[in-house]
Structure 1
Amino acid sequence: MKRVALLGMPNTGKSTFFNRLTGASARVGNWPGVTVDLLAAPILLGGHMVELVDLPGLYDLHGFSDDEKVVRHFLENNAVDLAVILVNAVQVERQLSLALQVRQLGLPCVLLLNMADEARQYGIRINVQEMAAQLGIPVVLFSAKYGDQQGEVQRTLAKTLDTARPVQLETVRRSLESDDAIEQTMGRIMEAAVEVPPRLSDNLTDQLDRLVLHPWLGLPLFFFAMFLLFQAVFWLGAPLQDGMEWLFDTLRTNALDPALAGAPEMLRGFLLDGIYSGIATVAAFVPIIVLFFLFMAVVEDTGYLSRAAYLTDALMARLGLDGRSFVMLLMGFGCNVPAVMGTRVMRSRPLRLLSMLIIPLSLCSARMQVFLFIISAVFPASQAGLALFSLYLFSFATAIVTALLFRKHFRSNEPFILELPPYRLPTLRQVLVRGWLEVRHFLTRATKIIIAGVVLVWVLTHFPMGVEEAGPESYAGIIGHWMEPLLSPLGISDQLAVALIFGFVAKEVVVGSLAVIYSLQGDALTQHLALQMDWVQAYSFMLFTLIYTPCLSTIATLKAESRSNGFALFAVVWPLALAWGVSFAFYQGARALGF
């Protein structure tokens, strides 16, 4: 009886093909040189009675994982008359390497390109005759799922067996002897230097994963943990924020006001009401931002974010994404720019583009600054964490809606592979260093933009000369009047409209621009805003800020990473339209309900 070995990468349809070819005649057997049982079945191919052996899926014949070693040992210790290599036709560019490795062993080979139906659906065309000529082995394009070309597959296997010459095991062993040497060296080192118990006992990671990765409790626990994180940020950060505001108010009253008392009114207003007020208002919220990054550093370094990616992979797959997209979305909570650049780990261009489209919808640290300011001004402390957490959920909701709407335009079939690290308790130094790096990046980038932004806002609110500051005749008032028909249905005033314009450049400028527009800072500014708008207007404004166009740095990154002006333009227009629709629905709905 001749022996045929079935090889292929995981998720190529190998089991489907094996079951279709063998029916219910499969059996489990032991094989020389192999420490695990393999599935085998006798079948009739042409005039040959053949034993078909289904080998474990592997990515590299020369790798050293358990599955790769099983396949290599089987080929070294068992005569094989024909190697059948199964490849996913949709991912042929990634899987052809395994076929080339098997061919180098000198074994008679047949290459089967499975999932022909999906390849046609994606518009992938494969010249089977040309590929067979290049490889020097027969190639068949078929579908194991539907049985298309199944007869052609069997005829090709039978014909190849007719002409195949037996290959000595020694020939195969010589081809793999370098891998065997490496494996033996690894074994000696492990035996001499590493002690591994025969059975690892259940450790803390296993026990925690039973709860954290629970199919029903996992996601609710994750979102509850995020809610507690936001509550802790406000609870611990509020006293620090009050202290920073007191410090800046004292500095202005006791030092800056007396020092500039004799300066021209225009210069004095520019330096104090413009630059100082803008920077001081932003700086007062730095303690809360520092706490946020410190807590997120703990969550990330413990390995919890990897679990979140695993938990969401099934959901993300329905959206045309995968767990990596969720990780990049979470990374966007720090800054959208590195998150967009992080999509380079995805080889599928459609998957990258769809991921890049949803990342700017994440609640980045710059938006966080705006929300912390507005929430502390309008919402009571008991509701602050809940208000921020709801925006966090809205961020995910808009990403899900966007993916659902556009997944058909960005189809991908790239597999998702994730290694879950053990839980690790980070050291205090790790947390502080990670948090400081994030904060330093934020402050370095934000300071330059904020100074430029508040200066420009001051000019718009104080010019032309002789007009009322931020009045209807100022440049800012004129711009706000132009935007009133568009934003008034959302409950957004003229002054807030001007702040949103500067938020298009960078979200960090929004808070500083409000300080300049109202010529107030600290408690005075928060009290003024609390009188100017109720919670419905404030929440509508925050929803619009959450969703509308990403900052210029993110747009430039989107253009560079996508290499498409059209995609970059779409990534600007779509969030703007979505922001208007969501804010309109919320504001008008809340007013209709009597809020």
Structure 2
Amino acid sequence: MKRVALVGMPNTGKSTLFNRITGGTARTANWPGLTVELASSRILLGGAMVQMIDLPGIYDLTGGAEDERITQTFLNQTPLDAILLVLNATQLDRQLVLALQLKALGAPLIIALNMSDEAKQAGVQINLAGLAEALGCPVLKISAKHGNGVAELKDALNRLISSHTPQQIQLSHAPESHTLHRAEAQLYTRFIQRPAILPAGPTALLDRWVLHPLLGLPLFVLMMFFLFQLTYAIGVPLQDLMKGGLEWFKTDILQTATASWPPFWSGFLVDGVFDGLSTVLTFIPIIFLFFCLMAIIEDSGYFSRAAFMMDGLMARLGMDGRGFVMLMMGFGCNVPALMGTRVIRDKKARLLTMLAIPFSLCSARLQIFLFLSGALFSPLQAPWVLLSLYFASIFISMGTALLLRGRFKSTEPFTLELPPYRFPVLRQIFLRGWGEAAGFVRLASTMIVIGVVLVWLLSNYPNPQHSYSAMIAGFFQPVLSPIGIQAELSIALMFGFVAKEVVLGALAVIAGQDGPALAHHLAQVLDPVSAYSFMLFSLTYVPCVSTIAAMRKESNSVALTTFSVVYSLVLAWVLSFIFYQGARALGF
């Protein structure tokens, strides 16, 4: 099988091109350093099957950052039929050095000048033929976002891999980038022309408001609130439709089919597996919609501005703007956010960021909060409740960094490139939402099913009146009562340690209700104060097993991972205690 590696600096649209060529769903976002694992896909190119690998962004073949070492190790150890180098056509004055390094190593190379549409709008003119002759490899203009030039790129790639045998390059022979800057400047002067003064454009106009020292942060809060409002306004009706469909299937199909079964097995399937799973699955429309909206904000370039705005504050906490970007990534899932810390080159700053990330409100916790806020608060209150939890997660993360910064002092300077604002492509928006929803369904078909089955067994053995879950609930009662959490909810919290997605399914099984019936049941056993205490505890306490495993792997420290688990559990109880007892003391 032929093998092609996509190489390029961060923020060149490499992952977008990967998705465009392969039809894959590798996550793309308009900020540097997002791709931290190797995304791979097989495609038929010409008459050959080709494996394409999307490598993490790299500035220099001889650099020492951890994310760069991943790419360097891969290139140094893997025979390749071709290297597809993706460069930003608007930034060739500082990106051609990577092409010169690969050329010096004799790599089988093809260069794609991405974002050529933006370069044209900026008045940048590129002599493709001259640049290709000077570099000794094909050079093509493309727009991965719109697909322009991608067909021609695939044809050129097919010709290249057909005429080359697999080759393994030796990075030990790569010239240092600083020795190539003069050659880079000469290439740029000979083959690229650009206006002496670039037009300000819409990016500069928008940044006057978005980066305003007084208005920037309120605008960010308003943007996130609008996202939540839109999620509720569109997602809840879709969720109700799905609930109705699942309820019809349960009543007219499943219960009818299992009516003659023994009570144990019918209860196991209907009240255990189906009720638990259907409660979780009703969130597919909201998950899809939420991440489609998040993709718009991410791909537009707005989150890079958020990181820039927050850098001054983050520096006081011992982190920098990149740490804030990682916290934003954690809103999707804590695991890739932890992996993303590889772009932070100072070890102490990286470890401090890793300790803060597990408090980011991930999509798994989001499902719990969407359900409870919708069930226990009015339609006008619910978005504010959700927004408060998002900002609580940020404040808890920042407070953790502030508390621990003395042990993780860093002096690394912070640099972050602000890309121009871009209109996201509908296809990429859809792929982001589809990928998150599909991943959730895959998880629901395995981990969540196992979790709800175990909860059902605990709730029904030895018998429903004196079950193991009741024993566990009684054991945790003295600990949970001071924070307003019903003892029966301890089972859901316990299984939430495995995966937060299991919590809702566990609640459905424990209550013996699903959908609206479950919401009504919870409204009877939880008032708004105790419900918020439960959500605050769920936000803060021990992260899921996957997050713990990722922290252990990325930090290479059992001590740090153990501290993170114990600290989060203690902090969750203390914060919930302060909130619950304080609210009760004030008469709520």
Give me the TM-score of the superposition, normalised by structure 2.
0.69
Q: Is the 8 A contact 1:241 1:284 kept in 2?
A: yes
Provide Cα deviations, 1:563-589, integer angstroms capped at 9, x if missing partner. Answer: 111100001011111110110011111
What is the aligned counterpart of 1:333 among 328, 331, 334? Answer: 331
Q: 1:256 to 1:413 in 2, by over 3 A?
A: same
Aligned to 2:82: none
Deviations 1:537-571 (A, max 9, x none): 10000000000010011001111111111100001
Once the 2 structures are TM-superposed, how far is the Cα of residue 347 of structure 1 from its aligned partner? 1.6
Alignment deviations for residues 261-314 of structure 1 (CA, whole Å, 9 cap, x no partner): 100000000000000001100011111111111100000000000000000000
The AA in structure 2 aligned to 1:381 is: P
Residues 295 and 490 of structure 1, relative CA distance in 2, 3 Å threshold: same
Aligned to 2:493: 500
Identity of aligned residues (%): 53
Name the residue aligned to 2:379.
381
SS of corresponding position for 1:347: coil
* Alpha carbons 1:303, 1:422 under 8 Å: kept: yes
CA deviation after TM superposition for structure 1 residue 178, in Å: 6.8
Structure 1 178/494 Cα, relative in aligned 2: closer, same or farther at 3 Å?
A: closer
| 1:295 alignment partner AA | L
CA distance in 2, matches of 1:290, 1:178: 46
- Structure 2 letter corresponding to 1:343: T
Contact 1:319-1:404 at 8 Å conserved across structures = yes
Match of 1:315 in 2: 313
Q: Which of 537, 541, 556 in structure 1 is aligned with 2:530?
A: 537
Amino acid at match of 2:252: N
Separation in 2, partners of 1:304, 1:575: 30
Q: Which residue identity lines up with residue 219 of structure 1 in the other structure? A: L
What's the secondary structure of 2:238's corresponding residue?
helix
> Structure 1 209/251 Cα, relative in aligned 2: closer, same or farther at 3 Å?
same
CA RMSD of aligned residues (A): 2.4
> Structure 1: where are the runs of 5+ without partners?
1-58, 70-175
Query: With structure 1 as the length reference, what TM-score do the two structures score?
Result: 0.69
Q: Paired residue for 2:507?
A: 514
Paired AA for residue 309 in structure 1: A
Instruction: Give 1:219 shift.
Output: 1.1
Tell whether the 8 Å contact from 1:309 to 1:326 is kept in structure 2 after alignment: yes
- AA at the equivalent of 2:551: L
Q: How many residues align?
A: 423
Which among 427, 430, 440 is matched to residue 429 of structure 1? 427
What's the secondary structure of 2:552's corresponding residue? helix
Report the CA distance shift for 1:530/1:187 in structure 2 as closer, same or farther (over 3 A): same
Residue 369 (structure 1) aligns with = 367
CA contact (8 A) 2:459 2:467 kept: yes
* Letter of the 1:439 counterpart: A
Counterpart of 2:285? 287
The yes-or-no answer on 1:454 pairing with 2:452 is yes
Looking at structure 1, the residues matched to 258 and 222 of structure 2 have their Cα atoms a distance apart, in angstroms, of 50
Aligned-partner Cα distance in 1 for 2:264–2:563: 42
Residue 528 of structure 1 pairs with residue 521 of structure 2:
yes
Residues 15-34 of structure 1 correspond to what in structure 2 (within 5 A)?
Answer: none
User: What corresponds to 1:102 in structure 2?
Assistant: none
1:318–1:65: structure 2 CA closer, same or farther, 3 Å change rule? Answer: farther
Provide the residue aligned with 2:263 in structure 1: 265
Aligned AA (1:573): V
CA 1:457–1:562: 2 relative to 1, 3 Å: same
User: In the aligned structure 2, how far is the partner of 1:177 from the partner of 1:424?
Assistant: 34
* Larger relative contact order (Cα-Cα within 8 Å, sequence gap ≥ 6): 2
- Please tell me whether the aligned partners of residues 93 and 184 of structure 2 are also in contact (alpha carbons under 8 angstroms): no
- TM-superposed CA distance for 1:493, in Å, is 0.6
How many Å apart are 1:185 and its aligned residue? 2.9
Say whether 1:592 aligns with 2:585: yes
Match for residue 482 of structure 2 among 478, 484, 489: 489
**Whole-Å separation in 2 of the counterparts to 1:577 and 1:360:** 14
User: Counterparts of 1:549 and 1:177 in 2: how far apart (Å)?
Assistant: 49
Q: Distance in 2 between matches of 1:294 and 1:336?
A: 18
Q: How does 1:388-427 map to 2 (within 5 A)?
A: 388-427=386-425
Task: Identify if the C-alpha distance between structure 1 residues 344 and 506 changes in structure 2 by more than 3 Å, giving closer, same or farther.
Answer: same
CA-to-aligned-CA distance 1:487-546 (integer Å, 9 cap, x gap): 000110111111101111110000000111111111111111111111001000000000
Bigger Rg over Cα: 1
Equivalent of residue 568 in structure 1, options 538, 561, 571: 561
Aligned residue type for 2:189: G
* Contact 1:64/1:183 (<8 A) preserved: no
| In 2: Cα distance, 1:538 partner to 1:177 partner | 62
Partner of 1:163: none
Hey, what does 1:187 align to over in structure 2?
Answer: 189
Q: Structure 2 vs 1, CA of residues 177 and 363 (structure 1 numbering), >3 Å: closer, same or farther?
A: closer
Deviation, structure 1 residue 223 = 1.2
Task: Go from structure 1 to structure 2 and tell me whether the alpha carbon gap of 1:460 and 1:179 turns closer, same or farther (over 3 Å shift).
Answer: closer
Q: Deviations over 1:20-52 (max 9, x none)?
A: xxxxxxxxxxxxxxxxxxxxxxxxxxxxxxxxx
Per the TM alignment, residue 177 of structure 1 is displaced from its structure 2 partner at its CA by 9.6
Once the two structures are superposed, the pairs formed by residues 77-88 of structure 1 within 5 Å of their partners are none
- The reply on whether 1:218 has 2:216 as its aligned counterpart is yes
Q: Which consecutive segments of 4 or more residues in structure 1 shift more than 4 A?
A: 63-66, 176-182
Three-state SS of the structure 2 residue aligned to 1:382 is coil
User: Which whole-Å CA distance do the structure 1 matches of 2:556 and 2:239 have between them?
Assistant: 42
Inter-CA distance 446–409: structure 2 relative to 1 (3 Å threshold): farther
**Which of 273, 276, 285 is the equivalent residue of 1:275?**
273
User: Aligned pair in 2 of structure 1 residues 181, 493: CA closer, same or farther (>3 Å)?
Assistant: closer
Cα offset, 1:65, TM superposition: 5.9
Matched with 1:148 is: none
Q: 1 CA distance for matches of 2:208 and 2:542?
A: 40
CA distance in 1, matches of 2:497, 2:472: 14
1:233 to 208, 218, 231: 231
Kindly state the Cα deviation for residue 431 of structure 1 after the two structures are TM-superposed: 0.6
Deviations, residues 469-495 of structure 1 (Å, cap 9, x unaligned): 2x4x21000001000000000110111
Deviation at 1:430, TM superposition (A): 1.3
1:352-363 matches, within 5 Å, as 352-363=350-361
Q: Distance in 1 between matches of 2:397 and 2:453?
A: 34
Q: CA separation in 2, counterparts of 1:510 and 1:538? A: 14
Between the aligned partners of 2:329 and 2:197, the Cα distance in structure 1 is 37
Q: 1:315 to 1:459 in 2, by over 3 A?
A: same
Task: Provide the C-alpha distance between the structure 1 equivalents of 2:418 and 2:363, rounded to a whole number of angstroms.
Answer: 27
How far residue 447 of structure 1 moved from its aligned partner, in angstroms, is: 3.1
Matches within 5 A, 1:122-201: 180-191=182-193, 196-201=194-199
Per-residue CA deviations over 1:451-478 (Å, capped at 9, x if unaligned) read 01001001100001xx2x2x4x210000
Change (3 A) 1:187 1:510: same
